[in-house]
Amino acid sequence: MSDNAQYTAIELQRIREEFIAGKMPLCPRCTVSMTRREIGGGSFGLGYARQRDWLICRKCRRSAIFDIQRGTRT
């Protein structure tokens, strides 16, 4: 059985919930604390400036990007 390269929707939801609660999430696959990188960006005609958070596992290198202000996964 192969290990999927991407997190499942359930895993992403768990990561997002932990991050919103003020905790640094653990990777659901490796149980290693994830690191955070902020991703800024101009509006590019969208009418708002995005502020996203990129959470990366230091061990397996899987990652998740969230736009917490908008409440979306990007």
The letter for the amino acid at 52 is: R
pLDDT score at 13: 94
pLDDT score at 48: 60
CA distances from 72 to 12, 17, 20 (A): 11, 12, 12
Q: What is the pLDDT along the chain (74 residues), one digit of tens a residue?
A: 457 889 999 999 999 999 999 999 999 999 999 999 988 765 565 556 667 899 999 999 999 998 876 555 55
* Cα–Cα distance for residue pair 42/28, rounded to 1 Å: 31
The letter for the amino acid at 32 is: V
pLDDT score at 42: 59
pLDDT score at 1: 42
